[in-house]
Structure 1
Amino acid sequence: MSEDQPALSVIVAASDSLQAVAQTIRSLRAQNGIDRAELIVAADRARITPTANDPMAGVHWVAAEPGSGVPRLRRLGLDQARGSVVVFTEDSCLFDPDWISRWIQAFDDPTVAAATGPVEPAMGDAAVDWAVFFCEYASFLPARTRQAGPPSRLAGNNFAVRVTGTKTGLAALARAEIQENDVHRELRQRGAAIVEATTALARHVRRYTWREAVGDRFRFGLEFGRLRAQWHAKPLNAVAFLAAPAIFTAQFGRLTATIIAQRRYRRRFLTSLPMILGLLMAWSIGEALGWTWGPAPPRHSAGNGCDRADRTQAPATDRNRPPQGYTGERESV
């Protein structure tokens, strides 16, 4: 890997455990194209503390403030990235040996602004784990046939964005928390090229307790609801709690249609269905409450992720503008 300019920056948003991070890093170190990439791990310092062991040697470690979720961890990792293309993943994943090379190939075309990769389940037989997978990643299962047109979404644990060479920086990458839906929406509005990197496969391996699974879905729904509240008038937000049944129905309908279209894992879907319904209900209640309560208090970004000389300055919004003179933490482990 060139010390000055890696071809790729891989940002691992770590929210599980140190053991999970080490497993993900070992998978990345086995990559054929590792010499062309830099590895950055952003983790809540109250939950995950690095050790000077072999898997972590040389990894750029960002110690995040307690309570940081995945969108915030992406932000802090991006502040440290030096590659012209940034891949966002999580410590819930393992990868085939050519994963990095496939991502580099996906951006050989200079017009490509972003890409999403497929996600395959590899986490065992527990119904709760399958329920989480279906709720989060069913639409990113490897497709049997290539769909026409750009992808409709970006996989949260397996997507990439070009961060240099664009005329105008993305506001979605300048915020204190980076949401893949925001990135996708802004690029679509600009008419930018978004593609599927069909061979850049991530294998989802994380295991969950029932309490973790329900808590995560409620929290994710709450955060998304607060994000939606910015798009609507206050009178509509005030009665948004009534939307929970409609949100539940729409999500279940989309998920069921996806599994039918995929023609894969139907038996797993049926056996985990009671837990799927519980997770969808947790999300729906969270989203309705978040929509009703309105946007969360602003958090500040570290340098807006645009403090490198080779990156076009991205616009900062008032609610995400960083304090003067503030820089992100970076440790080499």
Structure 2
Amino acid sequence: MEVTVSIVIPVRLAQATIRATLQSAIAQAREAGGEVIAAVWSGDPSFEIVKSMAESESILRVIAAEQRCGVPQLRRDGVRAARAPQVVITEDHCIFPGGWLAGLLAAEGDVRGGGVRNGRRGYAGWAQFFTRYNAFLPPVGKGPARHLPGNNACYLSHLLESRSIDEGFWEAEFNRELLHRGARFFMDPALTVEQRQQRDWLEFVWLRYRHGRCYGGRRGGSRLGGLLRAPLIPAILLLRNARAAFGKRYHRGWFIVTTPLLFVYILAWSAGEIAGYLSGPGDSCRNTD
């Protein structure tokens, strides 16, 4: 039987969330005649959960990485294992509303997606949410877009046949490449997913540092120019976050009270970005979400 859509889920340190995410994805894939692909390092604490679910769910395929790696590499592995003409990329801590997958498949454009709302309550949960998803706070506008979130996007499979993802799939970089190739992006607020990532506040500090270092180390152009702009990074990022939260009127109270921790996360990213400019990414790109 032909597979209509592949849902790719990179799995990393997701013991608390992966079961619910897979159950949600499998239910939607079954209705659409699709498959779910979970890409996970065989030594990850989440691996046994994924493996046990695959034993009882025929539409769940497990792609096991032999070496420790980060989400960009797992995402790449899942994409390259996909067999369907349309490929949805999401993450290991998301829950999907009814009709989400059908809506993605029916939407306009070559790449389609929606917003991200917060499903992890509490101080650290809100601070981490605003840090990661400020560009995709609900309600997103309906219509043409220039970027989509890494946990809520559907691609025509032929667009993913690119050597540029050999080292990993970084959605921001790859989406810019697709725009230059003439791909049409479309955003729909009805396709918003809920994220529930579980990271404690200190773990997230180091995660943001590594992510920032990977970004700085991989970024093209003049590293000297990046270093000269570095003192402005925290202010720019905080302003960008505030503009998104207040512009969307999305839980502004939580944004205000979590600003101190949010700023810590911004400083961690900024320090990592500077380290990337100075000494390259190191192993940070293979040790991040």
TM beyond 0.5: yes
Superposition deviation, residue 245 in structure 1: 2.1
* Matching residue of 1:216: 207
Superposition deviation, residue 43 in structure 1: 1.1
CA displacement, residues 193-235 of structure 1 (integer Å, 9 cap, x when unaligned): 111133222101122211111011111111111121xx21xxx
Superposition deviation, residue 241 in structure 1: 4.0
* Matching residue of 2:79: 78
Superposition deviation, residue 8 in structure 1: 1.0
Superposition deviation, residue 66 in structure 1: 3.8
Distance across 2 between alignment mates of 1:135 and 1:281: 11
CA displacement, residues 18-75 of structure 1 (integer Å, 9 cap, x when unaligned): 4422111111233275342110001122112234347862210011244311111101
Distance across 2 between alignment mates of 1:275 and 1:239: 28
Change (3 A) 1:189 1:71: same
Q: 1:152 aligns with which of 137, 143, 146?
A: 146
Change (3 A) 1:35 1:189: closer
**Which stretch shifts more, 83-92 or 135-144?**
135-144
Change (3 A) 1:91 1:206: same
| Code of the aligned partner of 1:77 | G
Contact 1:10–1:39 under 8 Å retained in 2: yes
* Matching residue of 2:177: 186
Q: 2:119 aligns with which of 119, 122, 128?
A: 122
SS in 2 for 1:199: helix
Contact 1:32–1:98 under 8 Å retained in 2: no
* Matching residue of 1:281: 267
CA displacement, residues 80-120 of structure 1 (integer Å, 9 cap, x when unaligned): 100111111111111112111111112xx5xx221232111
Distance across 2 between alignment mates of 1:179 and 1:113: 18
| Code of the aligned partner of 1:69 | G
1:68 maps to 2:65 = no
* Matching residue of 1:312: none
Contact 2:146–2:179 under 8 Å retained in 1: no
Distance across 1 between alignment mates of 2:148 and 2:249: 21
Q: 1:8 aligns with which of 5, 8, 12?
A: 5
Structure 1 residue runs of 5 or longer lacking an equivalent are: 300-333
**Which stretch shifts more, 196-205 or 78-87?**
196-205
SS in 2 for 1:90: coil
Change (3 A) 1:240 1:178: same
* Matching residue of 2:52: 52
Contact 2:217–2:280 under 8 Å retained in 1: yes
Distance across 1 between alignment mates of 2:268 and 2:209: 5
CA displacement, residues 177-199 of structure 1 (integer Å, 9 cap, x when unaligned): 01111221112112221111332
* Matching residue of 1:322: none
Contact 2:11–2:38 under 8 Å retained in 1: yes
* Matching residue of 1:294: 280
**Which stretch shifts more, 266-275 or 58-67?**
58-67
Structure 2 residue runs of 5 or longer lacking an equivalent are: none
| Code of the aligned partner of 1:93 | C
1:227 maps to 2:218 = yes
Contact 2:215–2:273 under 8 Å retained in 1: yes
| Code of the aligned partner of 1:133 | F
Distance across 2 between alignment mates of 1:67 and 1:38: 25
Superposition deviation, residue 273 in structure 1: 0.7
Alignment TM-score, normalising by the size of structure 1: 0.77
SS in 1 for 2:110: strand
Alignment TM-score, normalising by the size of structure 2: 0.88
The structure where helix makes up a greater share of residues is 2
Q: 1:22 aligns with which of 14, 19, 24?
A: 19
